[in-house]
Amino acid sequence: MKKYIALIITALILLPCIAISQETPAASSAPEAAAQTSGKTDDSSIFEGETQQNTLEILRSIVKSKATLKQRMDEKKQAMDKASSETERQYLNEELAALDKQIADAVTDFEMTATGVEIGLFVAKKKERFDWKDELLSLAEPGIMELKRLTVKARHKSKLNDELANYQELLPVAIKARSRVESLLSQTKDQALVAALKDILPEYKGIESQIKNKVDLVQLKLDEIKRQEASVIDSTQDSVKSFFRTRGLYLFLAILACIGVVLLIKGLYHTLIRLVPGYKLEYRPFHIRVLELVYRLMTLVLTVLAVMAVFYFVEDWVLLSLTIIFIMGVVWATKYTLPMYLDKSKLMLNVGAVREGERMVYQGVAWRVKNINFHTLLENPDLDITLRIPIMELIGKTSRRCDPHESWFPCRKNDWVALSDGTRGGVTHLSHETVELVLLGGAKKTYQTPDFLALTPLNLSVNFRLEVTFGIGYGHQKDATATIPELLSAFIQKNIEKEGYAEDLLNLSVEFAEAGASSLDFVIIADFKGSQAPVYNRLKRSIQRWCVDAASQYNWDIPFPQITVHLPGDSVMS
């Protein structure tokens, strides 16, 4: 821990030196930059001269257009004085309002073209009353303005292109209207019609002139933007260097501050937590969990405060406001996810629906909850698997206390199982996803774990029982309940010892089962250890064989199913 702290302190001491060393080459390279700049000055001066000539032409056109508009306004005012009807007066008023707006626009265009700046920048703004919401948003304003500034040129260029396209569409229409009026004037001899056409001709000439001025003005602005874009490309290298001398350095300092805070708090936590009683217990007590949760919250809060402090002391309000915007976004998102975080907190404090050391079911398999944290550890002793899952997966689930002798899975690796579908084999691989069985002969069969559990596996590797039914004829009815079971049990016991199964035999009994339709049936019950599970079917066949051998030795007849057929009359055929 001391090594990390020393490293951070050394880096903080060296950072000012790094910043100064970056500034020094920039200063020494100033003459070279001036020489390069002087080479570019001649080209830029030529371009500026051409731009000024274009600007003067546009200004003269605007002055001429404004004079035409004023003349038309005077004519409309004279026409209004002579108007005899209210409808005509209303129509002339609307035209005067439109002309007045066009004159105001012409004045604005003239001032903007002459000065090259937005006129609205110098208009005094009305003082607004205090609003805490506005004040809160003002903290984030530098960051928002910076983001807006990054896209303002692209948005302005797109707007100008739209305006240029619109004016270029209107210009042919205005030319066509003016040409049509002039054509009609040249073709008619009617003095009254000539006078009426001459009245409207200046209006459409003015519209055409105004649209041409707008086209020239917008094109001039677009040319200026293109020139600025070219200069931006040329100065990219300087911008990158400037970034690493200023904001790049501030970001690096902020990252160092984050690392320093995290390491410092982590070191203090791990040093102090060892002094708290219950720290070394397998399942952490409640007060240890509370301390860990407080540690994580404090790490988060102090890390954010460290970043903000760095940006505040270097007076970079843009980065500071961007940090505030980020925090506000996180807080706003927390508004909708607060119930989820409360559930997570309960789980981490071990007071939720799932608790450490208890049994829970996940993906159809039982698990013991080993550790609850941001990444929870689940273990299954029978599967010999530890599963790491996010704490989100525990929300909505429950756990319970488990009995010490409770099984965690029906079988383990190398066990032999018999399934309800008739499959019998040894387990070679098992997990919460798949179970693989090897059958006699070497074939392998794989089940999805939920499907495997649905087949109610019978584990033969613990102990198992064989029940074999054997029948003899009714001619031995007298000895069927006492003598024959004893003789048959002794005979089977002798053969089990002879063939080497005696060590794994747990119990052997022969009992009279029932008087069947054609035979007296006995049941042979044999319990074996799980080590004989691989020869499960062989043992069953061997017991049948020993029963037949006993019948041969003791002259017991083995009946077969008989059918009695009754014919008409008294005769019977069997």
Q: What is the pLDDT of residues 316-354, one digit of tens each?
A: 777 777 788 788 778 787 777 777 878 888 888 888 889
Q: Residue 377 — pLDDT band, cuts 50, 70, 90?
A: very high
How many C-beta atoms lie closer than 10 Å to residue 510's C-beta?
A: 24
How far is Cα 365 from Cα 453, in angstroms, rounded to an integer?
9
How far is Cα 64 from Cα 25, in angstroms, rounded to an integer?
55
Among 250, 249, 345, 335, residue whose Cα is nearest residue 296: 345
How far is Cα 13 from Cα 19, in angstroms, rounded to an integer?
11
pLDDT over 90 at 570, yes or no: no
> Cα 11 to chain center, whole Å?
36
Contact by Cβ (8 Å): 383, 318: no
How many C-beta atoms lie closer than 10 Å to residue 192's C-beta?
A: 8
- 463-490 average pLDDT score: 91
Residues 283-301 have pLDDT tens digits of 677 777 788 888 888 888 8
| Ramachandran angles phi, psi of 383, nearest 5° | -80, -20
- What DSSP element (H or E) covers 128? none
Based on its alpha-carbon atoms, the radius of gyration of the chain, rounded to whole angstroms, reads: 49
Contact by Cβ (8 Å): 357, 372: no
pLDDT over 70 at 9, yes or no: no
How far is Cα 251 from Cα 316, in angstroms, rounded to an integer?
10
- What DSSP element (H or E) covers 318? helix 317-348
User: How much is the mean pLDDT over the chain?
Assistant: 79
| Per-residue confidence (pLDDT) for residue 402, from 0 to 100 | 86
Q: Residue 274 — pLDDT band, cuts 50, 70, 90?
A: confident
Starting at the edge strand found earlier in the chain, the sheet holding 424-430 runs 444-448, 434-439, 424-430, 416-418, 458-459
How far is Cα 543 from Cα 545, in angstroms, rounded to an integer?
5
Contact by Cβ (8 Å): 392, 348: no
DSSP 223-279: HHHHHHHHHHHHTHHHHHHHHHHTHHHHHHHHHHHHHHHHHHHHHHHHHHHTTSTTT
pLDDT over 90 at 547, yes or no: yes
Among 532, 492, 534, residue whose Cα is nearest residue 511: 492
How far is Cα 366 from Cα 379, in angstroms, rounded to an integer?
9
Determine which of 22-26, 67-71, 361-365 has the lowest per-residue pLDDT on average. 22-26
Determine which of 35-39, 88-92, 137-141 has the lowest per-residue pLDDT on average. 35-39
Residues with Cβ within 8 Å of 382's Cβ and at least 6 positions away in sequence, in order, are 407, 408, 409, 411, 412
How many C-beta atoms lie closer than 10 Å to residue 312's C-beta?
A: 14
| Per-residue confidence (pLDDT) for residue 144, from 0 to 100 | 65
Among 300, 164, 308, 298, residue whose Cα is nearest residue 222: 164
Whole-structure pTM value = 0.51
- What DSSP element (H or E) covers 477? none
Residues 148-207 have pLDDT tens digits of 666 667 777 788 888 888 988 888 888 888 888 888 888 877 777 777 777 778 888 888
How far is Cα 272 from Cα 295, in angstroms, rounded to an integer?
11
